[in-house]
């Protein structure tokens, strides 16, 4: 049985880990930021959303605070951002079922779809191109489609991270499930930094009640 403190926080640590130390909820807004991808396949184009979440956790100083929560089948970390609090989430379900983890976590933390950010790969944008979109259709992305279905809403803000599209349409599946090439990997550190900047700026502005700009 988990210690009472972990039960109250809704977080569970693997036995090999020590205790889970998380920040208490501040009086301001709370946002969920979910990095979509396939667990166990780091470094692939389709899991670039999870890579952004890793960089976000490092930027916020909670890279060592990930804790597994069995109720939502995801790794979670809490981080303060001014008066707000971010719930960082990496699903442990496959991409086409990511929405089940995201929706369960949103329910656990009492969040609406508008308070849930999705970070995912985008075939129709070249590598390095970022766009923050408010709501809309899944545009063929299975992870986003799963989130729309499970949250029963399409209002989630989405950070789309361009990965480019292969010239051969029949190669799309192998392409997205493949790892970034050596030349692409050289671009990733800057891309992850820019994605993190865009997310944090947008969330800060919304937390303060100001209008946040959206990339086309």
Name the strands in the sheet holding 116-122, side by side, starting at the edge strand that comes first in the sequence: 67-69, 74-81, 84-91, 30-35, 116-122, 157-162, 130-134
Rounded to 10 degrees, the C-alpha dihedral 98/37/79/7 comes to 40
Find the length of the chain: 216
Active site residue 202: no
Inter-residue contact 184 to 140 (CB < 8 Å): no
* C-alpha–C-alpha distance, residues 80 and 24, integer Å: 9
- Find the catalytic residue in 46, 120, 141, 202: 46
Catalytically active residues are 46
């Amino acid at each position: 049985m988990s210690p009472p403190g972990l039960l109250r926080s809704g977080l569970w640590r693997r036995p090999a880990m020590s205790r889970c130390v998380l920040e208490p909820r501040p009086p301001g807004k709370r946002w969920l930021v979910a990095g979509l991808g396939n667990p166990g396949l780091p470094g692939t184009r389709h899991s670039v959303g999870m890579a952004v979440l890793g960089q976000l956790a490092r930027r916020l100083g909670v890279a060592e605070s990930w804790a597994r929560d069995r109720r939502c089948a995801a790794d979670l970390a809490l981080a303060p951002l001014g008066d707000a609090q971010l719930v960082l989430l990496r699903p442990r379900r496959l991409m086409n079922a990511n929405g089940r983890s995201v929706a369960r976590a949103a329910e656990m933390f009492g969040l609406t779809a508008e308070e849930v950010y999705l970070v995912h790969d985008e075939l129709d944008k070249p590598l390095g191109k970022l766009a923050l979109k408010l709501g809309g259709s899944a545009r063929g992305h299975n992870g986003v489609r799963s989130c729309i279905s499970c949250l029963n809403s399409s209002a989630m803000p989405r950070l789309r991270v361009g990965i480019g599209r292969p010239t051969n349409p029949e190669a799309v599946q192998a392409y997205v499930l493949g790892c970034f090439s050596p030349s692409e990997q050289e671009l990733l550190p800057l891309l992850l930094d820019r994605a993190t900047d865009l997310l944090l700026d947008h969330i800060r502005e919304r937390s303060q009640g100001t209008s946040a700009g959206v990339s086309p």
